[in-house]
Structure formats: structure tokens, C-alpha cells
Amino acid sequence: MGWNMKPVDFHMELASKEEKGLAAPFTLGSSKSMTENNKIDETASEPIPIIEHALDKIEKTKSFQSLFGWGDNVANRNCDTCQEEIRNMRYMQCNAQNNYLEAEMKTAVESQSSLLGDLIRAPIKSNSIIKASCIQMGMNTKFGVSSKTFRQCNAAGAARQAFRPCISENYFKMVNNSFELVSSCMKDFIAPGKDEETQNLDVRAVYALINIESGFHVNAMSGTGAGGIGQFTAPAIQDVNSNELNAVRISLEGNKNPLCGRLSMELLDKMEPMRAGKAQSCDRISLKNGNPMKNMIYTYAYLKGVKADMNNMIFENKNYKNKFRMSEFDLNKIKRALMVWSHNTGPAGTWTPAKTLLNSFYRGKTVTNADQFIQQMQQYMQKFPASANKSSARRKETSRYFPEITKTLNNIENAVGGGTCVN
């Protein structure tokens, strides 16, 4: 499989005659005795449909980009070379084994009313929350090109095994721009009222989690049925549907960016909630079911829920809240770690070792070092697991989960401009 070395060109083209919607006939007068002057007057007062269509397409694109700040060229705080990196991005040359998502993305691009199409058509932001180079690095390295940890959904909603999808320009832009939009809309939901730095660090944590879970591939699927960008399981889907979905709608629809309301309308109001059954696994991965954006929304919603659980169990619990004596920045570091850990362990799976650690090692002591506490949590996950995580395999998996995410994130950030994935 080769790489296309041609630099990406993000110029906007006028609609061509082959594009969908241009077969509409001209609305000319029916009388053949019409004078030339009359013809000139009529065509001058009524725009020709082809020109109207092209101009309308440009205006819609400008409107979308304006709403989401795609044209904002504010200098990057941590990456002076990001614009150049984006211009020089390379994409895969697709083949018959891995091009199975291309036709569906092309249909979305040709649609004038598809949010997914808007995202694929839009250029990549050089000042997005998470640098595009970090997203691309994760997509290229998590799975090999011949990996079959993926599923392809047919028209009936049944999934079959497939190779890793082709990381084409359209596929990358769909994933990257979807994550930027959803993160921009959901960061206040997951960290309401917090400053921009705190919210962006939460987005960085979600990026790191998704990078380990799926490598940002839309249709990654485990043998147990965990699927999509956030590798959702049945209990997590049920939890979001029951406890978080209404709050997500309210948050998105109340966001000052109209595109956030559009996310809610198109993916949560017009579509059915994600179904939890293994037989409905395509709900988690299929583009026609609103993914990858829908799965990303569910990922943020679930993490908001477990973050609230950790607050109730530990940080707002009268028995433990006064044990943490550190800056808000360091306390947020611990909260972020437990939030990410809980994505794998479940809230009880994090609460059990945390409670044991606080009641034993920190009995009569205060927690003053965030990094030390996180390292101790790894040990206590192994020694004092929740009942659901007591098997040898689960002890090993849960204790290593957050450290593995941190290690992978550090490796990626050391390889990108500025030493961080956050702009």
C-alpha cells in the first residue's frame, strides 16, 4: 500500500456540471416570440440556477466555517509550524480491501444538508484544540494496515470483519474535524465553568483515551462488542441513555455556537439513541447512524458521569475531601486520571482501590503530591481491585490502563511540534 505524496490543496471550487443538483432545468419563458430585449431583462432579474447553486454552496461553506472558526488564523500558542505541517500532510492510497468507507463519505460530501459532509469539506484547523498531527499519528500507529480489528456494516445493519479503513484525506478530515467540533461543544459539559486551560487539558485526556481505545478509527470493534471511537460497551451505552443524554441535549442546544445545537438536532433528536445490544453494534460504528460524532458525544457524556461519581465518592465526600492539600491544577490532574481510569474499570473499579488507599496509606495524612497518588493508584488497582476486576487478567489490564495511556501520549507529544498535543 503506497502513500500519496501530493500536498493537500484546500482551495474552494465552484460547483461543476457533474455535481449533484445541477440537473435542474433553466426556468426560461415559454413564448418563442419573446424579443431579445425581453430575454436579457428576464435573465438579468432572475439568476441562472447553476450560478445560484454555486453561489449558495459557497455561502453555506462560508457560513459553516465562520460559525466554527475555520477561517480563524490566530497564531498557535504551542506550534509555530502547524500550518505548514497541515499543508504537507500525506494520505494513503486506497485499495479494494480498505476503501469501503469512501463511497459513503463521498455521498456525505455531495449532500448540501449533511453536517458530516460539512466537516469533510472543511479544511483542517491549524489552531484546533488538539493538533491534527497528533490525531494522524494515532490513526497510523494504533493498528497495522492489515489488522482486522474492524467491522463493516451492510445496509441491513449487520457487521462483518474488515481491514483497517484507508486513511484517505476524506477519512482523516472526517475524524479530525468531528473531534474538534464535538470537543469544542462538549468541553464545557465535561468541565463546566472551568478556565480554558483546564477544559483543554480535559480534551487532551479524552484524546489520549481514544487514542488507546481505537486509534481514532470509526469502526474499531473488539471481540466483546465494544465498538467505535470510544469502544463503547452495553453498560456504558445504557448509562449514558438513562443518565446523561437529556443533559447533553440541554448543554449542546444552549451553547452559543449554533453548530453545537445542530449536533444535538441531527444526532440526538432526529436519530434514535444508541442501542446497547451486541446485535446492534453498528449503532456504535456506522456513519449513517451519526458516527463518529455520536460515539464521541457518548464518550464525553460517559466521562462526565464517571467524573461526577468520583466527585461524589471522593472529592466532595466529607470523609476524604479535606485530605487533598494541593493546588487546583494538581487536584485536577488526579481527577482527570481517575476519570480516564474509570472508562476502563467502571466507577466502582476506581473507587474501591482509591478508598482503600485513602483509608490505609493516607490514614491520618494528607495527599500533597498528585503524581505520587496516581502512581499509588496503579499499585492499589493491582492489590485491592473491585470484585469485577479480581481476575489476574483484569488486575493487570486495569492497573496498567492509565500508565499505558500516559506513556503513549508522552511518546506522541515528544514527536510533535511544541512538545504537546494541545494548541
Cβ proximity of 422 and 201 under 8 Å: yes
The mean pLDDT values, 10 residues at a time, for the chain of 423 residues are 36 33 30 40 44 48 61 52 85 96 96 92 93 94 88 86 96 98 97 96 98 96 88 95 97 95 95 92 94 98 97 97 97 98 96 98 98 98 97 97 96 86 92
Looking at residue 64, its pLDDT comes to 66
Distance of CA 225 to the CA centre of its chain: 20
Distance of CA 53 to the CA centre of its chain: 31
Looking at residue 225, its pLDDT comes to 78
Looking at residue 71, its pLDDT comes to 44
Angle CA(294)–CA(299)–CA(303) in degrees, nearest 5?
Answer: 150
Per-domain boundaries in the chain: 50-319
Distance of CA 338 to the CA centre of its chain: 20
Looking at residue 31, its pLDDT comes to 38
* Closest C-alpha to 212, from 309, 266, 137, 301: 137
pTM above 0.85, yes or no: no
Cell digits of residue 238: 445504557
Give the span between the Cα atoms of 73 and 288, in whole angstroms: 32
* Closest C-alpha to 121, from 183, 179, 73, 169: 169
Looking at residue 70, its pLDDT comes to 46
Looking at residue 85, its pLDDT comes to 85
> Residue 92 phi/psi, 5° resolution?
-75, 155
